[in-house]
Structure 1
Amino acid sequence: MPDPARNHAVVIGAGMAGLTAAQALSRHFRKVTVIERDTLPAEAAPRRGTPQCQHAHMLLAGGLQALQRLFPGFEKDLADAGAVKVRTGKDIRFERPGFDPFPIRDLGFDIFSMSRPLLEAVTRGRVLQTPNIGICMRSRVTKLVASRDTMRVEAAHYESDDGPAVTVEADLVVEASGRCGLTLQLLDELSLQKPDETEIGIDQAYASTIVERLDHNAEWLGNITLPSAPASSRGAFLFPIEKQRWLLSIGGNHGDAPPGDRAGFMDFVKSLRTPTIYDAVRDARPLTDIVRYQLPCSTRRHFERLESFPEGLLVTGDALCRFNPVFGQGMSVAAQEAVILDRLLTEDVPMQRLARDFFAAIQDTIATPWGVAVNDFVYPATRGARPPDLAQRLQYGAALTKLAADDPEVHRLTVEVSQLLKPQAALREQKLAARVMSLI
């Protein structure tokens, strides 16, 4: 039962970060209100507030595990909704330079492949079944209200499309809008330091379409083709999704943007390093228009470094750390952050310490995917603070990949790390590191 001292929590945003945070809070607060500027569809459908939702998304095993903890039985919900069960290492063909494909092995666990709208719809459906969570749609939070004397957030002010402006009192506000603008605005108003930001400027551009999933007589359900970096940044994801369809996303960076017309799109697919995806989809019937999206940079805000932060306020999801979408980590990290929030509240961390403890506790969760994002510096045009040991990191990664191709146990470990089941530090364990270094 929620602690009676915790009366009302407000969550800003009803994307995956907001929905999972709301579910975690519902176990500890009498009432949780989610405020969302969009109209939320009753079914699995794209919406304006998630412009990237029509592109390929991957729910990593670590994210699925977190969602299962927040919503027991979640895997069954996904399967019942039509999500495609995928056996890791076996059902998705993985092509990378020097390994076309990477050795196909059953690594012993499943994930699900689906469209982002389907995942949100299933998650939203479970949230709406939680009695003490309410969602206010077509409402936009314009200001956080805080006491300068106590440095504590006391309310959120929002405007509704179909009603008067409202100021709602809150014991805790979680910004999960993806933008972080309200929190940064409040820090300004309270004359508090803003968090340092680390950026990796990759200028990622991608285009996507849904096509019919053909019986292509292959032993795979989907395919990932990685580019021959740094010579080329062109890569693609072909994922099976609900209703016997494929979601195809292609992308490049630093100005190599896929075209938005069908002929140009298919020419880009044909130009990929291998012909696998082009051969699979060239005769497939298109089911949607081509949609495009661009992300200038990955951004990490270091709230954990701040000496002062308002009580009664948290930031989560993309508002905290936005990853290059190519790596498919954002939704899973947001779900894992919600699990951490649930744990801290279960441990009765007082509100005065909640933000500090939360920002500290999630750093290990962020470290692994952010460590992958650093690999974007393989491209000379990538902007940001280039790690001084980049060459050694890339050498180590190449040797580790070679070892994983030869050793099924190392292969499984690398996938467990990439799927956010184990920390990146597992790849530097002493015995494994010695084997990797022997190949350099």
Structure 2
Amino acid sequence: MTNLLGRHAIVIGAGIGGLTAAKALSSYFASVTVLERDDLPAAPIARSGTPQARQIHVLLRGGLDALIEFFPESETELERAGAVRVRVGSESRLEMPGFDPFPQRDLGFDYLCMTRPLVEFVLRRFVEQQSNIALRSGCRVTQLVESPDRNAVTGVRYDEANKRSTELAADFVVDASSRGALTLELLDRVGLPRPEETAVGIDLRYATTMFEIPPSAPRDWRAVLHRPDAQNGRGGLLVPVENNRWQVNLTGMHGQLMPENIQEFIAFAKTLRTHTIHDAIKDAVPIGPIHRFGFPSSARRHFERFDSFPDRLLPLSDVICRFNPAFGQGMSVAAQEVGVLKRLIEARALDADPFKRLGQSFFVAIQDFLDTPWTVTESDYIYEKTRGQRPHDFQRRLQLNLALQRVAAEDAAVHKVMSEVTHLVKRASALRDPQIIKRVTALISASA
């Protein structure tokens, strides 16, 4: 290791963002310690501290590409562990209002379907092979420790499984602890304001269970995405996962009651706009219980507006932005944020203090990676009961988006760009190509 910038870094949380951050930092610090409050299982099973892990989690193509930057063998190892490859466009059936289904065509790239525990398990194995990373489970971080002048973070305090409190020093700390309480409490102590927050209140309810994939499974698709309409707010997602199973997720907006047993689950599927998911699972063999979860609101904390932020601390992932999980963006955005962190550190490697004001630079740099998925999150304003401040141009956005979908349905090239943006392979600006805009505006004018 010839590019060391510090002796010790700490990562709080062993989720996708935390594990990827640990791998990134291992190139610049003599040692990296990952502190995780859960006991980490030695198999791909859900851990107690992440009840939502039993729900469907999607790793979009852009997220998988971001992981490959740090774990070059991750795609191969995920498939070897049971992840299922699905061709975007031709093997995934997209049902959305006005397009049931959207035209199926080969768009030239794949993504992998698997459970979240499998993703974490494979990444943990990679991290455990890194000699200068220590992965410590059963360690609940209780406080970030600030410097005497309160301008920087110098370590953390944590409770071990035996409740013994320990302080651990570090040159750099990443807070990937999900809700961000540690970072917010630090800001309170050092006299800085909490970040402004934009929230989109949706009171999403969802339920997930597994089915054996029957021999009679349809041959014209491997995965189904059923987007809800503004009237009933009910959606569904069916994906193939490891062990020849379908993982099926049903969603309801604004506090709709979700099924508690398999009969109710199948009946709920029948209330969707199409019967694709219902017909697939009605005679399939269910496996395990139904897991339900609630998600009150998407939230974006505007750390990028800070003029001052404690040095040697970096929050990422859900600490900064929580997206509607029905869109499957969280894990992918977390991995992409770590890519931004790596590039910033590389650019500062020769600076006298590479970590001075790194947080502010990071918060600004990730905005391009947040804007595209956040625009999708704002589409939840189609529901009358959604809480929050609708964008002033929301109706115009809806008009443009519908016209874009119509153009994409007719043109495979536009369809591919639209799907690349959906999978976070390209920024939303790719859809502002002059030729695409010309066709979209012409369609709007023709229908006016």
Question: Shorter-chain TM-score: which interval?
Answer: over 0.9
Matched with 2:366 is: 362
Shift of 1:94: 1.0
Determine the C-alpha separation between the residues in 1 that align with 2:258 and 2:131: 45
> Cα–Cα, structure 1 residues 148 and 192, in superposed 2: closer, same or farther, change >3 Å?
farther
Shift of 1:97: 2.0
Shift of 1:162: 2.9
Matched with 1:178 is: 178
- The answer to whether structure 1 residue 191 and structure 2 residue 191 are counterparts is yes
Matched with 2:74 is: 74
Matched with 1:108 is: 108
Determine the C-alpha separation between the residues in 2 that align with 1:100 and 1:331: 28
- The answer to whether structure 1 residue 398 and structure 2 residue 399 are counterparts is no
SS of 1:289's partner is strand
Tell me how many residue pairs correspond in the alignment. Answer: 439
Shift of 1:194: 1.4
Determine the C-alpha separation between the residues in 2 that align with 1:5 and 1:296: 41
SS of 2:430's partner is helix
Matched with 2:302 is: 302
Matched-pair contact (CA < 8 Å) for 1:211–1:285? yes
| Structure 2 counterpart of 1:391, one-letter code | Q
Matched with 2:221 is: 220
Determine the C-alpha separation between the residues in 2 that align with 1:257 and 1:104: 32
Determine the C-alpha separation between the residues in 2 that align with 1:112 and 1:78: 8
Determine the C-alpha separation between the residues in 2 that align with 1:389 and 1:4: 48
Matched-pair contact (CA < 8 Å) for 1:193–1:308? no
Shift of 1:339: 1.1
Q: CA RMSD, aligned part only?
A: 1.1
Determine the C-alpha separation between the residues in 1 that align with 2:25 and 2:418: 33
Shift of 1:86: 0.8
> Cα–Cα, structure 1 residues 2 and 335, in superposed 2: closer, same or farther, change >3 Å?
farther
Matched-pair contact (CA < 8 Å) for 1:156–1:169? yes
Determine the C-alpha separation between the residues in 2 that align with 1:35 and 1:356: 24
Matched-pair contact (CA < 8 Å) for 1:3–1:30? no
| Structure 2 counterpart of 1:225, one-letter code | H
Q: Give TM-score, length-normalised by structure 1.
A: 0.98
Please, which moves more after superposition, 157-166 or 21-30?
A: 157-166
Determine the C-alpha separation between the residues in 2 that align with 1:242 and 1:123: 16
Determine the C-alpha separation between the residues in 1 that align with 2:60 and 2:5: 36
Matched with 2:24 is: 24
Matched with 1:382 is: 386
Q: Give TM-score, length-normalised by structure 2.
A: 0.96
Determine the C-alpha separation between the residues in 1 that align with 2:97 and 2:163: 56
Please give the residue correspondences for 1:269-288 in structure 2 after superposition, counting only pairs within 5 Å: 269-288=269-288
Matched with 1:425 is: 429
Please give the residue correspondences for 1:49-128 in structure 2 after superposition, counting only pairs within 5 Å: 49-128=49-128
| Structure 1 counterpart of 2:223, one-letter code | G
| Structure 1 counterpart of 2:418, one-letter code | T
1:415 to 412, 419, 426: 419
Determine the C-alpha separation between the residues in 2 that align with 1:425 and 1:348: 28
Shift of 1:58: 1.1
Shift of 1:148: 4.3
Unaligned runs of 5+ in 1: none
Please give the residue correspondences for 1:221-236 in structure 2 after superposition, counting only pairs within 5 Å: 221-227=222-228, 229-236=229-236
| Structure 2 counterpart of 1:182, one-letter code | L
SS of 2:34's partner is strand
SS of 1:288's partner is strand
Matched with 1:438 is: 442
SS of 2:51's partner is coil
Shift of 1:150: 5.2
Determine the C-alpha separation between the residues in 2 that align with 1:276 and 1:3: 54
Determine the C-alpha separation between the residues in 2 that align with 1:283 and 1:134: 47
- The answer to whether structure 1 residue 47 and structure 2 residue 47 are counterparts is yes
Determine the C-alpha separation between the residues in 2 that align with 1:225 and 1:5: 48
| Structure 2 counterpart of 1:339, one-letter code | G
SS of 2:288's partner is coil
Matched-pair contact (CA < 8 Å) for 2:262–2:286? no
Shift of 1:196: 0.6
Shift of 1:163: 6.1
Shift of 1:432: 1.2
Matched-pair contact (CA < 8 Å) for 1:251–1:257? no
Determine the C-alpha separation between the residues in 1 that align with 2:97 and 2:218: 24
Shift of 1:3: 3.6
Matched-pair contact (CA < 8 Å) for 2:200–2:297? yes
Unaligned runs of 5+ in 2: none
Determine the C-alpha separation between the residues in 1 that align with 2:417 and 2:390: 27
SS of 1:143's partner is strand
Determine the C-alpha separation between the residues in 2 that align with 1:267 and 1:333: 34
Deviations 1:149-189 (A, max 9, x none): 15111110000013621100011111101111011101110
Shift of 1:213: 0.8
Determine the C-alpha separation between the residues in 2 that align with 1:400 and 1:355: 37
SS of 1:287's partner is strand
Matched-pair contact (CA < 8 Å) for 1:2–1:26? no
SS of 2:126's partner is helix
Determine the C-alpha separation between the residues in 2 that align with 1:334 and 1:257: 30
> Cα–Cα, structure 1 residues 342 and 398, in superposed 2: closer, same or farther, change >3 Å?
same
Matched with 1:169 is: 169
Determine the C-alpha separation between the residues in 1 that align with 2:79 and 2:266: 31
Matched with 2:12 is: 12
Runs of 4+ in 1 over 4 A off after TM superposition: none
Determine the C-alpha separation between the residues in 1 that align with 2:221 and 2:230: 28
- The answer to whether structure 1 residue 138 and structure 2 residue 138 are counterparts is yes
SS of 1:145's partner is strand
- The answer to whether structure 1 residue 202 and structure 2 residue 202 are counterparts is yes
